[in-house]
Amino acid sequence: MLDKTKEKDTIEFLKTTFDTFDEECIGFKDTLGLKTTEGNTATNALGGSSASSSSATATLGFNAYRASDGKYGVVTAAHFATSGTIIKNALGTSIGSASVRQYSGPIDAAFIPFPSTIIKSYRLCVVTVPDADRLTGWGSSTIVAGVTTYKYGKTTGLNSGQVVSASTSINVGGITFTDQIKISNTQLAGDSGAPVVVVPYGPMLYPEKNILGIATFADTSNNGYVSKVGNIKSALSITPYVY
């Protein structure tokens, strides 16, 4: 059902029409897919939640830890979190500006350290069953062609696809970005920085989710490209914060 505003009326109609109707067998979603929620984000910066600056909107990727100064923060796309730009979370709370970023080679990523008002979290900002919205691991062992991928973007919500190429290049504005994962997940404006995950042991609602990286660019067919979490970790000297 694509119109959530009619959820209550529809369920009541079906209950009165069919004696054995089970309301658990019907779901409602936005036309863009399963939409992420911005609830409970006033004091955090959850992966998959929206973010804004004075001139743009994007998506936050994943929380991370930087051992050199003991800071927790969030990773998002560097072309969104440009130098000196103040980034706000979904409810308009400032989460600061990027202290380290790279927009070249295999990386389009920035790390924004949290102020005291923002709480770290391994949760993803997505409507799902309890405890199925957490990051539990990261790495490159699952980056192979054909693997099912899930992306949590501000614009496209939660959508699925597959790894098309485990390592490829794309030219953006005269800059060639290397060692990018190409995925068939739809990538639209506002999805930049979105977390891209795999579920190694089961379907999407299975609790364990591994972060592959963050969405960066799209080609002319709206296929997405992803900066790998391992490359981000090395370039920005951070470690993903997982359960």
Asked whether residue 202 is domain-assigned, the answer is: yes
pLDDT confidence tier of residue 176, bands split at 50, 70 and 90: very high
In a domain, 9, yes or no: yes
- Is 166 contained in some domain? yes
Does the residue 147 lie in any domain?
yes
Q: What spatial distance separates the first Cα and last Cα of the chain, rounded to whole Å?
A: 33
Q: What are the residues facing 138 on neighbouring strands? A: 211
* In-domain check, residue 181: yes
pTM for the model stands at 0.82
**Per the structure, how many domains does the chain have?**
2
> Which of 131, 148, 151 has its CA nearest to residue 32?
151
Say which residue, 4 or 79, is predicted with more confidence. 79
Q: What is the domain-level CATH number for residue 180? A: 2.40.10.10
Assigned domain for 207 exists: yes
Mind listing the pLDDT tens digit for each residue in 189-241? 999 999 999 988 777 777 788 999 999 999 999 999 999 999 999 999 999 99
Report which secondary-structure segment, H or E, holds 236: helix 229-236
pLDDT tens, 29-73? 544 444 445 445 678 899 999 999 999 999 999 999 999 999 999
The reply to whether 92 falls in a domain is no
C-alpha 155: how far from chain center: 11
Structural domain includes residue 114 = no
Q: What is the pLDDT of residue 98?
A: 97
Cα torsion 237, 45, 169, 146 to 10°: value is 110
CA distances from 147 to 55, 78, 134, 156 (A): 35, 26, 19, 20
- For residue 1, the enclosing domain spans 1-31
CA distances 222 to 28, 97, 133, 185, Å, are 25, 28, 26, 8
